[in-house]
Structure 1
Amino acid sequence: MHTNLDFIALHTTDLTAARQYYTGVLGFETTAGPPNAAVFASAGGTTVAIREPLPHEHKEHFGAGVSVWFGVPDADAYHARITAAGAQVTQPPQDGPFGRMFSVRTPDGHTLTFHQTQA
């Protein structure tokens, strides 16, 4: 059976601050979603959201053991833009297995990797 990644939800303890980080620092655009989440527009088909955890979900280890990669047309230009906006870079731009790439850590401790994709 083949599957297609359809939805990624990253948990946050402060939805207002997380929404500001993803829109103001990373430049993501929001789209319609439920009140306890911020859902972002995607050109590639997979929906990404940040949301408050449900009461039974653990909050101590957000992002542990997960790698989330986003394709961007120009990794170096995007790195310069989001670094100037305050992104915490954990891995500087470099050539990687999928092309030019770098990683940032979100305020909730998620590591997001951005890699240059072919247009």
Structure 2
Amino acid sequence: MHTTLDFIALHTQDLAAARQYYTEILGFETTAGPPNAAVFTQAGGASLAVREPLPHEARDHLGSGASIWFAVPDADAYHAQVTSAGAQVTQPPQDGPFGRMFSVQTPDGHALTFHQVQQ
């Protein structure tokens, strides 16, 4: 059976600060949602993968985190945008398995990777 990834919820200690980070730093747009959540507009489907850690990732915490990837049209331009807004970049732009990519860490410690959509 094939499933379709529908919704990912990242937990936060401070909803107002998280909402501000995702909207003001990363440029995400909000949509209607319950009062105890910030729900963001999405423009496409999602994929989920189970993978081994990359050499730079901790191997002693497997199962305690997640890698979340977002497709963007231009990774370098988006990197410049979020860096100038104050994002904490943990992996600078570089060529990766799915094209040009970079990673940030949210104030809650979530790792987000942005990769350039390959044509």
| TM-score (norm. length: structure 2) | 0.83
Distance 1:9 1:64 in 2: 15
Correspondence for 2:32: 32
Q: Aligned-pair RMSD on alpha carbons?
A: 1.7
Alignment check: 8 A CA contact 2:98 2:118 kept: no
Alignment check: 8 A CA contact 1:18 1:107 kept: yes
- Deviant stretches of 4+, over 4 Å: none
Distance 1:85 1:111 in 2: 17
Does residue 101 (structure 1) correspond to residue 101 (structure 2)? The answer is: yes
Distance 2:9 2:100 in 1: 25
Correspondence for 1:74: 74
Distance 1:103 1:118 in 2: 17
Aligned-residue offset at 1:18: 0.3
Correspondence for 2:116: 116
Which structure dedicates a bigger proportion of its chain to strand? Answer: 1
Letter in 1 for 2:3: T
Q: Return 5+ residue gaps in structure 1 as ranges.
A: 47-62
Distance 2:30 2:13 in 1: 19
Aligned-residue offset at 1:4: 1.0
- The count of residues paired between Structure 1 and Structure 2 equals 104
- Equivalent residue runs for 1:15-54 within 5 Å: 15-46=15-46
Letter in 2 for 1:102: F
Letter in 1 for 2:108: D
Distance 1:112 1:25 in 2: 13
| TM-score (norm. length: structure 1) | 0.83
Alignment check: 8 A CA contact 2:99 2:118 kept: no
